[in-house]
Chains A and B, each alone.
With several copies, the nearest count.
Chain A
Amino acid sequence: MKLVTAIIKPFTLDDVKAALEQVGVLGMTVSEVQGYGRQKGHTEVYRGAEYSVDFVPKVKLEVLVDDTLGDKVVEAVVEAARTGKIGDGKVWVTPVDTVVRVRTGERGTDAL
């Protein structure tokens, strides 16, 4: 099993979700994160005092997939999340020993 993790721009989430369903991914877990990298933050002004926001809001996507599916999923995410502008994000894959579905106790691929 593999865990595909992606950091993407929030407004691309819908497309990424659609793309994942395309390649047969049935579930995923997302969360709000703050990103730091080449894409810079912005500054605000309150009563003349500048306030610089260094982080950029991003969405983190976690998808457990069967080893075989790993690359297809990465491709799908990268395609769907790409805008070509700085800050599009990263996708990475990490190994997973076991997965269990809480409801049934099923393990491995059946747990997805």
Chain B
Amino acid sequence: MSLNAGDTAWVLASAALVMLMTPGLAFFYGGMVRSKSVLNMLMLNFISLAVITVLWALFGFSLSFGNDVGGGLLGNLDWAGLTEGVGKLAGFGTDENPWPGADALPVLAFAMFQLMFAIITPALISGAIADRAKFWSWVVFLVLWGTVVYFPVAHWVFSFDGFIGADASGGWIANDLKALDFAGGTAVHINAGAAALALAIILGKRKGWPKETPRPHNVPFVLLGASLLWFGWYGFNAGSALAASDTAALAFTNTTVATAAAVLGWLITEQLKFGKPTTLGAASGAVAGLVAITPACGYVDIWGALAIGVIAGVVCALAVALKFKLGLDDSLDVVGIHLVGGLIGTILIGFFSNLDVNTASLGDNGLLYGGGFTQLGRQIVAAGAVLVYSFVLTLVIGLLIKATIGFRVSEEAEVIGIDEAEHKETAYDFGGFGGGSSSEAARPATKTSADTLEGSKA
């Protein structure tokens, strides 16, 4: 009943892989904005690593995975501070292998793996408010949203009875409703997508949008980001098996197949509708596929993965056009890809769930596998619950911030560029005037720094 080194190795590696997804997302998003706001975009993502980690250590992990306080709605504070977790194991017991079972992990390894999910989820939202959000207001948003929206929802979806402790009790969606979500279609993607919709409404359109929609300033960065996301997503999905097991291999396979199918689906849609397959489309299709297969990767067979992938690729490629009809400046299509993709994957489980490939599944077979409508119903309830909860609470949080410290930069800041306005930086200097500095002399930095040091003494 002791720690399984192979499984622990895989979960630690997966945690590192998922950590890399947030910088990956930063470049995926950062490449899409104009060159004078790329740094702000990178920062909105990167700062999530810092803010959410601290919350997680203090109370986030505990709220998400502590023993349920009732109704499967929230965890208690037993694990606040995380130090409690040192030396403890977690796992699932079986008759021959009572808790923590044969695949026991250090609680801290599990906590770190799950932390990375908590970090990237709010980061996903940032794409909806590119070029115009105040940095510190976003930091406040991260604190509130993580606490009020993500931690509870993670408890609902990811906290299983009898995992963190022999008789620990978890969240309602996972254990009572028995909706299936292998790696976070609801808690991560629908959750972030619904929040993105709310923030896009609250912050409003960028100056000049849609007449002057900027084009991506660095498409290779977009593809670099998408590639790092794809790479890290293996930790996200296959790591969610929490063991180096056959289920992990299945999740890995389905993730790859669905993503590949989605890329083809998106590109063919582009070819038919716009005449050419684009690089931005390939990157977007990959992310759409990864999003859609996330909840399903451990519960469907390869045919299911193929179907989910193609559908996600085609539908998302069409969905990104809706924002123009709605006049909604969801700048980088978080709704069109993460909300739509998350819904596709979560709901299609109701059709493709196949218990033959995952005997440990708590759910039923899908509609196409003789399971009737039961599972489909559960999936819709879970998706709807998370969507509504996230959208409503994000509206509240967003309006609160807007009303108090303000959420959007000045119009002037938008014109000169948010990087200069919010971060006093310029992303690139490709040697204007053969080296830059000659035309732009730095004030005697010594003096400056001296001053500021004085200043700090004062």
Q: Is the CB of A48 within 8 A of B443?
A: no
* A27 → chain B closest CB, angstroms: 15
Known: A13-B438, A32-B432, A43-B443. A49 touches B420 (CB 8 A): no
The residue in chain B whose Cβ has the minimal distance to the Cβ of A41 is: B440
Q: Besides the contacts A51-B213, A57-B434, what 4 more A-B pairs have beta carbons closer than 8 Å?
A: A11-B435, A46-B213, A46-B280, A54-B439
Q: Is the CB of A49 within 8 A of B445?
A: yes
Question: Closest 7 A-B residue pairs measured CB to CB?
Answer: A57-B434, A10-B434, A49-B445, A50-B448, A11-B438, A10-B433, A45-B274
Known: A10-B433, A30-B433, A34-B432. A48 touches B320 (CB 8 A): yes
Q: Which residues of A are at the interface with B, using a C-beta cutoff of 8 A?
A: 10-14, 30, 32, 34, 41-55, 57-59
Q: Is the CB of A47 within 8 A of B333?
A: yes
Which of A34, A47, A49 is most buried by chain B, counting CB atoms within 10 A of its CB?
Answer: A47
Contact partner of A10 (CB less than 8 A), chosen from B215, B420, B438, is B438
B88 touches A (CB below 8 Å): no
Q: Is the CB of B445 within 8 A of A50?
A: yes
Q: How far is the CA of A72 from the CA of B273 in the complex (A)?
A: 44
Q: How far is the CA of A50 from the CA of B443 in the complex (A)?
A: 6
Known: A32-B433, A52-B440. A47 touches B215 (CB 8 A): no
Q: How far is the CA of A50 from the CA of B278 in the complex (A)?
A: 12
The residue in chain A whose Cβ has the minimal distance to the Cβ of B208 is: A11
Which of B215, B321, B333 is most buried by chain A, counting CB atoms within 10 A of its CB?
Answer: B215
Between-chain CB contacts (< 8 Å), 16 pairs: A10-B433, A10-B439, A32-B433, A34-B432, A34-B439, A45-B276, A45-B278, A46-B425, A47-B284, A48-B448, A50-B442, A52-B443, A54-B440, A55-B439, A55-B440, A57-B433
Q: Is the CB of A46 within 8 A of B449?
A: no
Q: Is the CB of B273 within 8 A of A49?
A: no
The residue in chain B whose Cβ has the minimal distance to the Cβ of A52 is: B443
Q: Is the CB of B439 within 8 A of A51?
A: no
Q: How far is the CA of A34 from the CA of B433 in the complex (A)?
A: 10
Q: Is the CB of B439 within 8 A of A13?
A: yes
Known: A10-B435, A54-B439. A45 touches B415 (CB 8 A): no
B324 touches A (CB below 8 Å): yes
